[in-house]
Amino acid sequence: MNSRSESELAFLSIEQAARLLRRREISPVDLVEAALARIEQASSKLNVFLTVLADWARGQAKKAESEIRRGRARGPLHGIPVSLKDNFATRGIRTTAGSKILAGWIPDADSDAAKSLAQAGAILLGKTNMHEFAYGITGENPHYGPSRNPWAPDRISGGSSGGSAVAVATGMGFGSFGTDTGGSIRVPSALCSLVGLKPTFGLVSTAGVVPLGASFDHVGPIARSVTDACILLEALDGKYPRGEKRPDYRKLRAGRPRRFRAGVPKQLYFDRVDHEVRELVEGAVKRFESLGARVEEVSLPRLEHGVEQATNLIVAEASAYHESQGYFPARAAEYGDDVRGHLEYGHKVLAVDYLRGLSARREIVEDFEAAFERVDVILAPTSPIPAPPVGESQVRIAGQRETATRAELLRFTRPSNLSGMPALSIPCGFTRAGLPVGLQLMGPRWGEARLLSIALAYEEATEWHKRHPHVT
């Protein structure tokens, strides 16, 4: 008989919940009801879900309960309630991509990620709010409203996977999947005090996901712990090259290296950073030293200039997709101002600019590969600023001149989309105003297992991941 409160159930880790389900101390019905209670309490206030599947989830919970009782448990996600960002196609369930254009789209097939979740026995609670067509980093949506930060509702959640992050942070489910083209998993995870992983490019299928930039898009998990992120990643069944180590949540702790090399970038990542963010990230680097890291400075000399040039690749790919679907410019009036402006800019990218972008991208990859010959992981801030207020288009960092909020939020995450190498954001503290700060860990291609093990070492040495926002 379950004697735990709704709040206790809602904030169990996936690992804990799976263990209790196996012991039959709780049921999937308990978990679904706890998550739905949280959704009813705060989803509208924080603008988290675009579609809630309460009846569906309850039915799936009863089915999962019966299967588990009959000894047919499928794994750690069986009976666990989760959500999906609303650009993942879901058969028979509205999928808007946060847009007016797709407001009535009911897909006739699931995305590969949705199929994988169903096969793992996870229970879909609903589809989460997002930046329109995933083309933004703030989570502010002109059609459905902004998803709001649970630690300070007057501030942004980050985007474009903002609704997914808020859902996980507030106990409206135990995990979520988002997409990351320039930082859209890691930034909301950092701003909401969560773990968010952008895997190696190509590891996880993006089939059935409404694309932004096909050669930059990644699918990955958002979770409340490193182990949970690993469990969610495993469910996506990515294919590793022969000889590369697959992540296994049961082996993360044993795989933690006693000694490892950590790099701190000389360029870009510590330029123009909020002083409290810098302080917390530098404190996290020191904590890694106490955990066995040998920290050294690494050089990425072509990064900052190269990222600016390579941005032309993303905007051109996005504009080409929207044109190919007949959305833009034919239905330009149905887009929000910011996304329409990005698409207009993408149509102006010249062939010579695109080729320069390709060259810059190759140079960025080379710089990261050279750095990873010297170190196992690179440590840096996920975002140079904590969550800014909703609607703030300009931000002043450390007393310097005002710059565009969007550009600042993307500055430290976009390089890993260009390199295609895995990157992970984990909580590393809070500002004096109570706003979360994220630490970004970057690793070499196919290095998810080691990256997660190193992140777990830090998580177990700190308490940040155990804090939850109080939402009334």
The catalytic residues are: 85, 160, 184
Residue with tokens 């649970």: 150
DSSP string, 402-429: EEEHHHHHHTTTHHHHHHT--EEEEEEE
Residue with tokens 């180590």: 245
Q: Judge whether 424 and 197 are in contact, CB under 8 Å.
A: yes
- Amino acid (one-letter) located at 101: I
Give the number of other CB atoms < 10 A from CB of residue 396.
11
Alpha carbon of residue 464 to chain centroid: 18
The per-type count for the chain, helices as H runs and strands as E runs, is: 15, 13
- Which residues are 126's β-sheet partners? 52, 83
CA 119, 120, 126, 130 torsion-angle sign: negative
**Helix ranges, 24-84 (H):** 28-46, 54-69
| CA 268/CA 302 separation, integer angstroms | 10
DSSP state of 19: H
DSSP string, 346-405: HTT--HHHHHHHHHHHHHHHHHHHHHTTT-SEEEEES-SS-PPBTT--EEE-TT--EEEH
Angle of CA points 182, 186, 187, to nearest 5°:
80
| CA 286/CA 291 separation, integer angstroms | 9
Q: Judge whether 127 and 95 are in contact, CB under 8 Å.
A: yes
- Amino acid (one-letter) located at 236: L
The tokens for 2 are 């379950």
| CA 220/CA 198 separation, integer angstroms | 5
Q: Is 125 helix (H, G, I), strand (E, B) or coil?
A: strand
- Amino acid (one-letter) located at 187: V
Nearest to 185 by CA among 389, 414, 364: 414
DSSP state of 442: E
- Which residues are 441's β-sheet partners? 379, 424
Greatest Cα pair distance in the chain: 67
Rounding to the nearest 10 degrees, give the CA dihedral for residues 302, 308, 310, 314. Answer: 150
